[in-house]
Structure 1
Amino acid sequence: MELRQLKYFLRAKELLNFTAAASELHISQSTLSQQIKQLEIELSTPLFERIGKRIKLTEAGELFHDYALKSVTSANNGFQMLRDLNNMETGELKIGVTFALRQVIATTVKQFLALYPKILVHIVYGTSEELLQKLDNFELDFILSFEEFEKNNSHQYQPLFDSPMVLIGSPESDLKNVKKIRVKDIENLPLALPAKGFSTRKYIDDVFKNKNLNLNISIEVNDIPMLLDLVKTGKYYTILAKTTIQDYDSIIAVPIIQPPLMRKGMIISVKDIYEKRAVSEFYKIIDQYTNSPSPVS
């Protein structure tokens, strides 16, 4: 049973004339008659009674009409939905974001919705580990995160920007007169750091381990705003990517050198899957944002 056969049946039912129906459908009468006959063969029952040149619905035809109409209407609605989807008149976008990139997503989502207000955007925050699991379960369209330490062959990585790692303290701390700081000079400072599971924490741990240095950790927190509130007390320092703190005041951020520490912001998605238009349009916006003059550095 084909959709066109249902359309032919419905038009013939409305006009009760194969010649007129064929004319409106821009097909020959023989084609119309043949297609309806094939439909009747498949259904194992006649839908029309042929009385000379006149036709009328059989009882089966009357009963079948409602189902045919629902099928054609549903298909037309589906076609319209897909047209709307391609025209960004409907649809949804599911984005996973690490806490460190909240400012990036806040700015770009506002720009996206200003252009495409009918798209429903879902934003899920989490650690890189949590978000990658959701991505692999197809619960997210893509992730905004920092570069993974061990890349997965099933993932696709799109670099966005580089963000230096900085030591952060309060304006009243000893950092107020410091322009740069070496990694080894951080060893004895009282630190409040992201909890284990955050990619930033793993990065920090690896850097200090490779330099045979220890971390003087006083507090571990899984919430960046709380981490910065602790820093503002003047009792603790923290280490984050500069991107993370670009919308915070009342703190001092000093670049870390020897070695210089740098994180790479990425879009991570699953390889070889269909990229819907909402995703590709969002990629354009975030690429434009991250490549504008120093938005995230």
Structure 2
Amino acid sequence: MELRQLKYFLKAKELLNFTEAAKALNISQSTLSQQIKQLEDELNVPLFNRIGKRITLTEAGGLFETYAFQCINRANEGLLLLQDLKNLNTGKITVGVIYSMRILFAKTLIQFAQQYPNIKIQVVFGTTKDLLDKLNSHQFDFVLIFHEKPNEPHLKYQPILTSNMVLVTAKKSSLASKKTISLHEVAALPLALPFSGYSTIQFFEEVFSQKNLEPNICMEINDIPTLFEIVKTGHWHTILSDTSVNDPEVVGIPIEGENMKRTIMIISLKEAYEKQAVKKLYELLRGI
């Protein structure tokens, strides 16, 4: 059994089409088919059902997928371990970050890139759920998200920052001069909020429910800059973490209550190899 055969199998499983898989791997279809057939012969069980030009995973193929994925990852981690011996002269970091951390993370990213210019960094912004799903699929070295209740044994949690939840309103709004605002007052206001896939709105749905409050949600928008444009009209307000508020035409009013703070954490896979470059980025993040 060879690593390339496992890679071919996983690509065929992903696309469920030998022609497309071969094209993606930059090999001929006959080579792909031959290698997968050799793998099946060695395992003594078919991994795919072949129905004309279509293919589907067999039950054995579905079970084998997890182990093939683990083998590829372990081999990649061994390669990364060797590359780290080059004193951070090469390498790549892939990070998932929630939208509300984009401002603070950008500052850290600039620091890191200046200190380690040879390390390539890929940053993906998304919702907490999407980022965690991709982390569990080994697509990220780590994610930077809100998380109050660490409970997954296969994940490593590192708290780095506490963020206050605020009502975001226009600077010209009559509310702008308030030092704090109660949750009851917030519930009565016309609100434009992020989609339910965002961790912040899920957090507030629970908080409103606990207080038996029905918020006046007029709009749901999956883009923070657009939310700011709506808020700046003075007719609507939104709820975000204070780390998100960086527009000079809006202000963030802290919402009263002990549970109006959220914890931002670095979350990674506990058993995955931790690159030296990732550790250096952790150090900068802890200094936020």
TM-score by length of 1: 0.67
| Match of residue 128 from structure 2 | 128
Supply the AA of the counterpart residue of 2:257: Q
How far residue 265 of structure 1 moved from its aligned partner, in angstroms, is 0.8
Aligned residue for 2:176, secondary structure, equals helix
| Match of residue 165 from structure 2 | 165
Is 1:269 aligned to residue 256 of structure 2?
no
| Match of residue 187 from structure 1 | 187
User: Contact 1:182 / 1:259 at 8 angstroms: preserved in 2?
Assistant: no
User: Contact 1:175 / 1:252 at 8 angstroms: preserved in 2?
Assistant: no
Supply the AA of the counterpart residue of 1:262: K
| Match of residue 137 from structure 1 | 137
| Match of residue 146 from structure 2 | 146
Identity %: 40
| Match of residue 283 from structure 2 | 284
Q: 5+ unaligned residues in a row in structure 1: which ranges?
A: 1-77, 291-297
Equivalent residue pairs, number: 210
| Match of residue 92 from structure 1 | 92
The Cα offsets for residues 206-227 of structure 1, whole Å up to 9 and x where unpaired, read as: 1000010011001101111111
- Partners in 2 of 1:193 and 1:220 — Cα distance? 5
- Partners in 2 of 1:146 and 1:86 — Cα distance? 34
- Partners in 2 of 1:165 and 1:156 — Cα distance? 25
Assess, with a 3 A threshold, how the Cα gap between structure 1 residues 84 and 214 changes in structure 2: closer, same or farther. Answer: closer
Higher mean C-alpha displacement, 205-214 vs 144-153:
144-153
- Partners in 2 of 1:85 and 1:215 — Cα distance? 55
Larger radius of gyration: 1
- Partners in 1 of 2:271 and 2:150 — Cα distance? 20
Supply the AA of the counterpart residue of 1:162: T
| Match of residue 53 from structure 2 | none
Pairing 1:73-112 to 2, within 5 Å after superposition: 82=82, 86-112=86-112
| Match of residue 247 from structure 2 | 248
| Match of residue 230 from structure 1 | 230
| Match of residue 209 from structure 1 | 209
- Partners in 1 of 2:139 and 2:83 — Cα distance? 24
Supply the AA of the counterpart residue of 1:243: T
Aligned residue for 1:177, secondary structure, equals coil
Assess, with a 3 A threshold, how the Cα gap between structure 1 residues 205 and 146 changes in structure 2: closer, same or farther. Answer: same
- Partners in 2 of 1:209 and 1:199 — Cα distance? 16
Supply the AA of the counterpart residue of 1:97: V
The Cα offsets for residues 249-297 of structure 1, whole Å up to 9 and x where unpaired, read as: 1112111103550111110111122111011010011112x2xxxxxxx
User: Contact 2:166 / 2:242 at 8 angstroms: preserved in 1?
Assistant: yes
Assess, with a 3 A threshold, how the Cα gap between structure 1 residues 219 and 85 changes in structure 2: closer, same or farther. Answer: farther
- Partners in 2 of 1:83 and 1:234 — Cα distance? 53
Supply the AA of the counterpart residue of 2:262: R
The Cα offsets for residues 61-92 of structure 1, whole Å up to 9 and x where unpaired, read as: xxxxxxxxxxxxxxxxx99x936654010000
Aligned residue for 1:264, secondary structure, equals strand
- Partners in 2 of 1:229 and 1:281 — Cα distance? 36
- Partners in 1 of 2:160 and 2:84 — Cα distance? 30
- Partners in 2 of 1:85 and 1:221 — Cα distance? 46
Supply the AA of the counterpart residue of 2:265: M
How far residue 171 of structure 1 moved from its aligned partner, in angstroms, is 1.4
- Partners in 1 of 2:259 and 2:139 — Cα distance? 36
Aligned residue for 2:132, secondary structure, equals helix
User: Contact 2:181 / 2:256 at 8 angstroms: preserved in 1?
Assistant: yes
User: Contact 2:145 / 2:266 at 8 angstroms: preserved in 1?
Assistant: yes
